[in-house]
Amino acid sequence: MDSTETATFDLPLPVRNFASMRKMLLLVLGASIVIPLASLFIYGYYDHQRRFADAQELIERLTRVANEHALKVIDLNQQLETRIVDLLGDSDDALVKQREEGLHRTLDDMSGTLAQIAAISVFGEKGALLANSRWYPAPSVSIAERDDFQSARAVAPVTYFSLPLRGKVASSDVFTTTMGRIGRNGQFLGVVSIALKRDYFNDFYRELAAGDRALVIGLYRRDGNILARFPEGANSTQPATNTPFTSAFRNNELYGGMRMRSSIDHVDRLLAFRRVGDSPLYVSAGYATSVVEKRWRDNLALVAAIALVPCIAVWLLIAFSIRRLDAEQAAWERWQVEVATRLSIEASSRQLRRMSALGNLVANVAHDFNNLLMVVGANMELARRKRFNDVESEVLAVERATAGAQSLARRLMSVARKQPLRQELIDPANWLRSVLDLVKKSVHPSVTVTLELSPDLWNVTADPVELELALVNVAVNASDAMPHGGRVLIRCQNARVRGAETDIPDGEYVLVSITDNGEGMTEQVQRRAFEPLFTTKQRGAGTGLGLTQVLAACEQAGGTARITSVAGSGTTVRLYLPRRHGPMPETSKACTPDVTEPPIVPATDDAEQPLRGTSVLLVEDNADVAAGVTAVLEVFGCAVHHEESADAAFALLGEGYSFDLVLSDVQMPGRMNGIDLAEQIIKRLPAQKLVLMTGYADELERAKHLGVPILAKPFDMDDLLDLIAPGVPH
C-alpha cells in the first residue's frame, strides 16, 4: 500500500447522507401540509356539525317561545268569546241591536288594554254588524259572504280562525277568531268575532329574531295558510302546500323538525314547529342553511388564514433548508475533492519529509564516518611518515575510531531492531551509579546531574550497553534543551502498573525517570518524539535516532518508554523496565575497548618539519579528529591550539590572540558554526589566513561563496599542506 492510500485510511473522510436529510426535509414538508389540512378538515367537520346543531337548537327554542305566546293569545280570545256568547245568551238580532250601546261599552272595556285586539264585533244571523268595540253606532256592514262567517256558522260553536283580511270598518290588517252562537233549540243566532292584529305577531317575532334576517318565524293554520310571518315578503300570504311541513300539520303532529326548501321563497331552511294547544294553529321557526354554511365557511377561512401563517413560515424554512442543503452538498463534494487532494499532497509531503529525514540521517552518518575516516587517515599518514616505526599512538587512535564506528553501527542496528542482544541480570542501583560519570561527561558542563535511588530496587533483565546508550541519549537531549544550563534529575524506583489506569500493560516495573527543567516540547513534537529520523535540531546536529533508540532499548527489554513535557517547563522521560523474577541464564558480556591514552606526538627531524614555527588555531568538536589533525600539523612543525567550538575560537580571537592559520570544521554545536566564524573573521580580520573543512556537500557550496579554501573530509594531509604552504615539497 502506498503512502497516499495509508493516509486515506488513517484519516477517513466523514460521511454525510444528504439524500436522507433531503428525504427527511421533504417528509417534514409533507407533514406540515397534511397535518394542518387534516386538522382543518376535522375542525371544519365538527364546526359544521356544531353550527347546524346550534341553529337547530335556536329555532326549537324560538318555536317554544312563539308557541307560548300564541297559546296565551288564543286562550285569552276564547275566554273573551265565551264571555260574550254567554252575555248575549239567546238574544236575536233585534235584542242585540237594542243593547248596542251597552254592548259597545262592554266590548270596548274588554279590548281596551289588549294590544293584540283590533276590534271585537257581534254579527247577526245574516252577517250584519250588530255591535262593535270601536264604533257606536255600528256602521251598516255585512260579512255574510265572507269565508270566516260562513265557516264559523258551519262549525259553531267551535272557534274558527280566518285567513288574513282587511277589516270592513277600519281596513286594518287582521285575521279573526270567530265563534258561532247557537240557541237552546239549536238555531244559529250569529257570531262573535275578535280581530287580531297581524302586526302584533310580526313585531313580537321581529323581537325574537333580534334582527337576524336568516330567521323566519310564523303562525300558520293547519291547512298551511300563513296568519303572521317575519320577515314579511311579497309572498307572505301564499299558503305552503304539498310540503313535509304541511303534511305534518295535516297529520296533527304536536311538534317536529325538518330541513326543506320553502315553497314560498324557495330558501333551504332548518325548520321546527309546534301545535298551539288544541287549536288548528301551528307556530314555526326556520333558519336559512345558506347563512349557516356561509358563516361556517367564513370562520373556516379565518381559521385557515390564521393557521396558514405559521405553515407558510415552516414551508419557507424548509425551502430555505433544502436550498442550504443543496449548497452544502455541493460544498461538501468540493470539500471532499479538496480533502482527497490535500490528503494526497500531505501523503506526498510526508514521503518527502521521510526522504528528507533519511537524507539527513545519511548525511549525519556520513559526517560521523568521515570524521572517523579522518582520524584513520590522519594517523595512517603519521604512521607512513614515521615509516611505520613507533606508531603505537596512531594505532590506538585508529582503534578508537573503530570503536566509534562500532557504536554508530550499534545505534543504527538498535533502531532497526537488528542488534543482537546481550541481556544480563542488572541491579539498577549499582548500574546507575556506574554510568553516572559517563552521563555527566555527556552533558554540557553547565548542566547538573543528580541521582536519586529508592531502596530495595528490583532487578531487571536488559542489554547494559543498550541501556547505557539510551540513558546517555536522554541526557544529551536534556542538555541540548538547556543551552544556558540547568538540572537533570535521574530517579529510580519500583512501580506497579495497572492497565485500567494507563496504556502500559499491567505488571511490576523498575521506573527510571529522567527529568530536566529545560525548554520542554510542544504537543506536536511530543507526539513525534519517538518517531525514527524525527529531530528538532539543526541539520548536522542530530540524526533523529536518539529517542528512537531509547524506546527500542526499553521494548527489547520487555518494557516501554513514555514522555511527558510542558513547553517552557521541562520534560520527563520514563523508562519502564520489567522486574526480573528468578535466576538469569548466563550470557557472554559485551566487551568494548577502553582506549583512553592520548596520542603521543613523535619527535621529528627539522628537515621533516616544513611548517616549523607556524601557529595554527584548530577548531574541531570531535576530539579524535582534532587529535589526529593536531598530530599531523605538529609533524609538519606547527604549534597547534585547539578549541572545541566556533564560539570559543571567536572569543579567543576577540581577546587579541593571533595565529598564522585558522583551520576550522564547519558543523559544530553552539551559537556559531564554522561558516559563521569564517564570516566574522573575514569581516573583522581580513588578513587572517583561514581554511575550512567539512563533510557536507551543501556546506561546500556555501563556503565557496565566501572565497575561503575548504577541504572535504576525509582529506589527504598533503592537500592540507598545499593549502597552508603552497610549493613546499612533501
Q: What is the CA radius of gyration of the chain?
A: 65
Is residue 664 domain-shared with residue 719, that is, in the same domain? yes
* DSSP string for 677-703: HHHHHHHH-TTS-EEEEES-HHHHHHH
Exposure string over 379-410, b if 16+ CB within 10 A, otherwise e:
bbbbbebbeeeebebbebbbebbebbbeebeb
Among 424-428, 506-510, 539-543, which stretch is predicted with the lowest mean pLDDT? 539-543
> Do 55 and 145 belong together in one domain?
yes
Same domain, yes or no: 530 and 411: yes
pLDDT class for 585, splitting at 50, 70, 90? Answer: very low
Please indicate, yes or no, if residue 7 is contained in any of the structural domains: no
Residue-wise pLDDT tens digits, 475-492: 988 888 888 888 999 999
Same domain as 208, residue 169: yes
Residue 316 gets which letter from DSSP? Answer: H
* 200 and 69 Cβ atoms separated by less than 8 Å: no
CATH number where 278 lies: 3.30.450.20
Tell me if residue 537 falls in helix, strand or coil. coil
**Do 153 and 286 belong together in one domain?**
yes
Q: How confident is the model at residue 303 (pLDDT cuts 50, 70, 90)?
A: very high
* Domain count within the chain: 3
Could you tell me if 80 and 113 are in contact, meaning their C-beta atoms sit under 8 angstroms apart? Answer: no
Task: Summarize the confidence of residues 507-527 as an average pLDDT.
Answer: 86
Q: What angle do CA 301, 302, 306 make, to 5 degrees?
A: 115
Residue 257 pLDDT more than 70? yes
Residue 305 to residues 31, 42, 193, 339, Cα–Cα distance (Å): 18, 16, 61, 49
Q: What is the CATH number of the domain that holds 662?
A: 3.40.50.2300
Residue 329: is it exposed, middle or buried by C-beta count within 10 angstroms (0-12/13-18/19+)? Answer: middle
Q: Is residue 264 part of a domain?
A: yes
Q: Please check whether residue 590 lies inside any domain of the structure.
A: no
Q: Does 31 have pLDDT greater than 60?
A: yes
| Same domain assignment for residues 33 and 145 | yes
- In the block, residue with C-alpha cell 313580537: 204
Amino acid residing at 697: A
Cis before 714 (ω within 30) = yes
Q: Pick from 121, 272, 81, 89: which is nearest to 187 by CA? A: 89
Among 264, 293, 320, identify where a domain stops.
320
Within-domain flag for 43: yes
Domain-embedded: residue 701: yes
Question: Are 169 and 105 in the same domain?
Answer: yes
**Same domain for 611 and 574:** no
Using alpha carbons, list the distances in angstroms from residue 588 to 407, 422, 464. Answer: 18, 7, 12
Q: Beta-carbon neighbour count of residue 337 at 10 Å?
A: 10
Cβ atoms 143, 160 nearer than 8 A: no
Q: Quick one: which of 316, 729, 43 has its CA closest to 721?
A: 729
pLDDT, mean of residues 623-647: 86
pLDDT in tens, 437-465: 888 888 888 899 999 999 989 999 888 88
- Report which of residues 159 and 348 the model is more confident about: 159
Residue 380 falls inside a structural domain: no
Alpha-carbon span 162 to 281, nearest angstrom: 11
For 669-722, the pLDDT digits (tens) are: 888 888 888 888 888 888 888 888 876 655 666 666 778 888 877 777 777 777
Determine the average pLDDT of the residues in 542-569. 79
What is the residue whose three cell numbers read 522521560? 573
Look up the domain containing 541 and give its range.
394-578
> Does the residue 189 lie in any domain?
yes
* Distance (Å, whole) CA 198 – CA 219: 10
Q: What is the pLDDT of residue 10?
A: 46
Q: Looking at the domain assignment, is residue 131 inside a domain? A: yes
Are residues 653 and 512 located together in one domain of the fold?
no
Residue 418: the pLDDT is 45
Strand segments, DSSP code E, in 183-326 are 188-197, 215-221, 226-230, 255-261, 268-275, 281-288
Of residues 596 and 697, which shows the higher confidence score?
Answer: 697
- Indicate whether 559 and 620 sit together in one domain: no
Helices (H), ranges, 92-174: 93-98, 100-112, 147-155
> Do 632 and 711 sit in the same domain of this protein?
yes
Q: Flag the least confident range among 546-555, 635-644, 650-659, 696-705.
A: 696-705
Contact present, 223 and 249 (Cβ < 8 Å): yes
What is the arithmetic mean of pLDDT over 187-196?
A: 91
Smallest CA-to-CA distance from 385 within 605, 600, 597 is with: 605
Split at pLDDT 50, 70, 90, the class of 55 is very high
Is residue 167 domain-shared with residue 254, that is, in the same domain?
A: yes
